[in-house]
């Protein structure tokens, strides 16, 4: 089965998610919401506080690689779903140079956030700040930035 990739210059490929992929992201998001005891994702600040606290907790405890990956996909799916809901961003699969994965993409397609990779990095790189709230708030005004090209990765 051929996938519906849009191919741009600079080794950029973008496609919408298949139904199965979107269903899995929704499932993981709901699972994470339950694990983090988030009652209402419309309460963005509370949801982000819970995500930030959970990430801090996981960083402070030794996890095996499989757990880190699982947590990154669950919390990343929740984080991306919150961004999608709040800012109207859309899920896409993007491959650009060495970056690839599921991302939430701004309406003007200038920015994309690889949410699963972003959460994974927070969990595994002690030098990376746990700035999920800061990034979330920046997304509200990022469209005002002058930037060239499409699908610029932010995290």
Of the listed ranges 18-22, 67-71, 150-154, the one predicted with least confidence: 150-154
Which tokens in the block code for residue 148?
Answer: 């060239």
pLDDT value of position 1:
39
Measure the CA–CA gap between 84 and 18, rounded to whole angstroms: 17
Higher per-residue pLDDT: 47 or 62: 47
- For 54-111, how does the pLDDT look when each residue is reduced to its tens digit (9 = 90+)? 999 999 888 888 899 999 999 999 999 999 999 999 999 998 888 889 999 999 999 9
Higher per-residue pLDDT: 28 or 13: 28
């Amino acid at each position: 089965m051929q996938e519906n990739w849009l191919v741009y210059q600079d080794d950029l490929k973008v496609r919408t998610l298949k139904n199965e992929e979107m269903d899995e992201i929704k499932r993981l998001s709901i699972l994470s919401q339950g694990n983090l005891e988030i009652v209402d994702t419309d309460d963005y600040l509370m949801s982000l506080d819970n995500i930030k606290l959970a990430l801090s907790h996981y960083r402070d405890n030794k996890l095996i690689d499989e757990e880190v990956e699982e947590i990154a996909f669950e919390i990343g799916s929740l984080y991306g779903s919150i961004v999608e809901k709040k800012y109207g961003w859309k899920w896409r699969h993007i491959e650009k140079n060495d970056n690839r994965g599921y991302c939430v993409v701004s309406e003007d397609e200038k920015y994309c956030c690889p949410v699963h990779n972003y959460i994974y990095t927070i969990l595994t790189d002690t030098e990376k700040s746990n700035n999920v709230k800061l990034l979330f708030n920046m997304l509200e005004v990022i469209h005002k930035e002058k930037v060239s090209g499409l699908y610029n990765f932010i995290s």
